[in-house]
């Protein structure tokens, strides 16, 4: 038997008007979770897409600028 995604109680899909949730309350709880996540994810992406990406690029350039041959010669 499938279980309610919100509270993990068994749900009869054929008879439950709120399927796959066991109740309207659980449906709202799950909806609230999705809204929370969809609001949080874009904010995180905005933050990491800015200065963090720039730092990554700088680090790569510095690593590529060091020539291993020069270190061996000395
Ligand atoms: Zn439930």
Could you tell me which residue, 16 or 51, shows the higher pLDDT?
16
- Decide if 73 is inside a domain: no
- Using alpha carbons, select from 7, 49, 2 the residue that is nearest to residue 27: 7
- Report how far ligand 1's centroid is from the alpha carbon of 38 (Å): 21
Number of domains in the chain: 1
What does the CA dihedral 47, 50, 51, 56 come to, rounded to 10 degrees?
110
Q: What ranges make up the beta strands (E) of the chain?
A: none
- Report how far ligand 1's centroid is from the alpha carbon of 43 (Å): 29
- Decide if 58 is inside a domain: yes
pLDDT the model gives residue 11: 94
- Report how far ligand 1's centroid is from the alpha carbon of 63 (Å): 53
Residue 37's pLDDT band (cuts 50, 70, 90) = confident
Provide the residue range defining the domain that includes 7: 1-64
CATH number of the CATH domain containing 15: 3.30.50.10
| pLDDT tens readout for residues 38-73 | 877 665 555 555 555 555 555 555 556 666 676 666
- Decide if 74 is inside a domain: no
- Report how far ligand 1's centroid is from the alpha carbon of 28 (Å): 10
Residue 27's pLDDT band (cuts 50, 70, 90) = very high
Q: pTM for this one? A: 0.47
């Amino acid at each position: 038997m499938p279980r309610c995604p919100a509270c993990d109680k068994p749900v009869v899909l054929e008879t439950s008007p709120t399927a796959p949730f066991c109740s309207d309350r659980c449906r709202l709880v799950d909806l609230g979770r999705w809204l929370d996540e969809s609001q949080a994810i874009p904010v995180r992406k905005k933050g990491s897409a800015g200065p963090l990406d720039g730092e990554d690029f700088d680090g790569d350039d510095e690593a590529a600028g060091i020539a291993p041959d020069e270190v061996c010669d000395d």
